Amino acid sequence: MQTRNKIMDDMSKLMANAMGVAQGAKDEAENAMKSLMDRWLADRDFVTREEFDAVRAMAQKAREENEALKARIEALEKD
């Protein structure tokens, strides 16, 4: 009976070690994938949300100024 407990203890330790190795491999794979995605995104010319919002605001302001100038020209042409 003592031998059986020793085998079970050894199997339990082996399984615990295997789970630790599997968890380490999972963490390493996640880190590698994150690094790969970060490099891939950095190589692209994506803009940040703040940059996008700033350019959108500039475009909106330009459209408004364009409309105001258009209305002003039309008013001058009527005279």
Whether 10 has a pLDDT exceeding 90, the answer reads no
- What sign does the dihedral 7-11-12-16 (CA atoms) show? positive
Cα distance between residue 35 and residue 45, in whole Å: 17
Average pLDDT of span 14-28: 90
pLDDT tens-digit map of 32-46: 999 999 899 888 888
> How high does pLDDT run on average in the chain?
90
**Mean pLDDT throughout 18-29?**
91
